[in-house]
Structure 1
Amino acid sequence: MSRRTKLYLIGIILVFILTLTACNKNVSADNDEKYESEKIKETEIQNKDSIKLQFENENFTVHSFDKDKECIEDLAKALDENYDAITNNLSVSLKDKVKVTIYPNIKSFHNNIGMQNAGDWLVGVAWRNEIYMVSPLNPGSQHTYDSLMKVIVHEFVHVVQFNIYPYRYPNRWMTDGLATYAAKQIPDKTIMKDLIDAGKNPSLSDMNSKDFEKVNGYDFSYTVVEYLVKEYGYETIVAMIETPKKMYEILGKSLDEFENDWINYLKENWGS
């Protein structure tokens, strides 16, 4: 083969290689462009599903992502079924609609309320005229779809309480006890009996401390309010909420006398 022929063949091979490389670059560029396009479309789809108004009636507005729409009818029903009883018992007439915002999961909820380290038990909060809670479709490890239907009523009671006393209330056993009682979050009778019989019922002071959850504060504060409703009625409870510094004066008893009476009620009705 002559030197001229060899150079000719080498030239053809180089042209082929360069052409192939260019094609590969074009394919790669096409793939990159396609990938970026798909990413943009995916982001657009995600952005389209944002929290928006999904339901409204004369008392409430409910806001959520579209994917949580299917639980809103049940939430609205739970609120409507309890609205009159709660507002009438507590002698409150709400001027504005209560705004409910539903978050799709525990993490999103905790992030949005600024409590990133909270446990899964925290699925709802209320402030002034607004309720924030986790979607019943994704309630986390400590709750169920059905329990969230009571949580929203619990939080609504807090909204009503804010309308009676618009500040941080000094007695948690009253605020959460009333919300738990009115939402019919009834304690487990067997668990309560075992705790009471073992002398593990908390004091009122325990239920007004940072250990509220640890001492089963929700369950035992329920019984405090149950006792108040049966012995004194809602009118007295409203007066106690309106003027917390005079609550024992309103009852006509000292703190110790009231606590002893509640403990006796607790043992007789929830213990052995």
Structure 2
Amino acid sequence: MLAAIVNFAPMASLGMPGMKEYSFYGMRVLAMPADQADAERLAARIERQAGTVAQALGMADTAGIGIIVYPSRKDLHRKTIGFAGAFLPDWFIGDNTKDWVLISSPANPGPAHSRESIEQAAVHEYVHVLTDRVNKGFGYWLKEGIALYLAGQEPTVESIRSHADIRWEEYSKPSALQFAEVGGYTLAYTLVLYIIERYGWDSVVRLVPADASMETILGLSPRELFDAWKAWLIAL
């Protein structure tokens, strides 16, 4: 048991030896000197969208959010979940705490990403910081869907159609990796888009707090929302 705990525990410090501390656009940024320019670009990207994101979410608690830029996705994997990070997939290039956006360097995007997609992912993780400050236990589908939507990570129609046969059993109880395997990072965007089109953006925001009631806000149970969304999805 102790070995398992050690293997899956994140490293005690999220920073890495050799990292320097910078201040870009009012944000504290930790990065290797070689990644200084990319770190500044990431901070600029977040700063450019931060006001719009906070306003959309109706959140004033945006103070003290910093960025840690890791030299590679493998470094990020190891620092976020420890030695078990060796088993994380290549697409996993970002994470967050309530105070930090954790992101791999755009200079080393790996086989599943590009510089642009990593910059978008940094904004995505910034959205997570804000929603986590309201509700750390927010469900995967709405949490990821809101972040995808506000970061501008719109999926292609082809990608949506390739995952549109999702089943309730796959939707209702996902782990982080299962969520990705069933197309969650494509479909969650469309779930939020469906709610916006049917009920308005304000209803999306009202679903964020831990005490939010979907039945009260949307007039639907989670299963009823799934069925209505899937019917809409198949018709796209």
Coarse TM-score class (shorter-chain normalised): 0.7 to 0.9
Match of 1:233?
200
Kindly name which structure, 1 or 2, has the bigger radius of gyration based on alpha carbons.
1
2:143 aligned with 1:175: yes
Letter in 1 for 2:109: P
User: Which of 85, 95, 104 is equivalent to 2:71?
Assistant: 104
Q: Which residue of 1 aligns with 2:7?
A: none
Cα pair 1:207 1:221 within 8 Å, conserved: no
1:250 aligned residue (217, 221, 227): 217
2:31 and 2:232 mapped to 1: Cα distance?
43
Contact in 1 for aligned 2:42/2:122 (Cα 8 Å): yes
Superposed structure 1 runs of 4+ greater than 4 Å apart: none
Q: Distance in 2 between matches of 1:217 and 1:93?
A: 28
Partner amino acid, structure 2, of 1:192: I
The two structures have a TM-score, normalised by structure 1, of 0.73
Q: Name the aligned partner's letter for residue 106 of structure 2.
A: P
For the pair 1:209 / 2:174, whether they are aligned, the reply is yes
Q: C-alpha displacement at 1:195, in angstroms? A: 4.0
1:65 paired to 2:37: no
Partner of 2:160: 192
2:107 to 119, 133, 137: 137
**Structure 1, unaligned stretches of length 5 or more?**
1-48
The Cα shift of 1:89 comes to 0.8
Give the aligned residue type for 1:240.
L
Q: Please, which of 30, 53, 76 is the counterpart of residue 43 of structure 2?
A: 76
Measured against aligned partners, the alpha-carbon deviations of 1:45-77 in whole angstroms (never above 9, x if no partner) come to xxxx8112223333x222101000121232122
CA RMSD in angstroms, aligned pairs only: 2.0
| Corresponding residue of 2:14 | none
The amino acid that maps onto 1:201 is I
In structure 2, C-alpha distance between the alignment counterparts of 1:75 and 1:147, rounded to whole Å = 11
* Matched pairs, number: 215
1:162 corresponds in structure 2 to 132
Distance 1:153 1:202 in 2: 30
The aligned counterpart of 1:261 is 228
* Number of the residue aligned with 2:19: 51
- Following the alignment from structure 1 to structure 2, what is the Cα–Cα distance between the partners of residues 207 and 121? 23
Aligned residue for 2:208, secondary structure, equals helix
**Residue 101 of structure 2 aligns to a residue in which SS?**
strand
Deviation at 1:95, TM superposition (A): 4.8
Return the alpha-carbon distance in structure 2 between the equivalents of residues 176 and 201 of structure 1: 17
Which residue type is aligned with residue 157 of structure 1? V
Give the letter for the 1:148 counterpart.
I
| Structure 1 residue 94, shift from structure 2 partner | 2.2
Question: 2:60 aligns to what?
Answer: 93
Q: TM-score, normalised on structure 2? A: 0.83
> Which structure ranks higher in relative contact order (CA pairs < 8 Å, sequence separation ≥ 6)?
2
Measured after TM superposition, the shift of residue 237 of structure 1 is: 1.8
Task: For structure 2, list consecutive stretches of 5 or more residues without a partner in the other structure.
Answer: 1-16
Taking the aligned partners of 2:235 and 2:55, their CA distance within structure 1 comes to 30
In 1, Cα distance between equivalents of 2:78 and 2:104 = 11
- 1:201 Cα shift? 3.0
Assess, with a 3 A threshold, how the Cα gap between structure 1 residues 218 and 194 changes in structure 2: closer, same or farther: closer
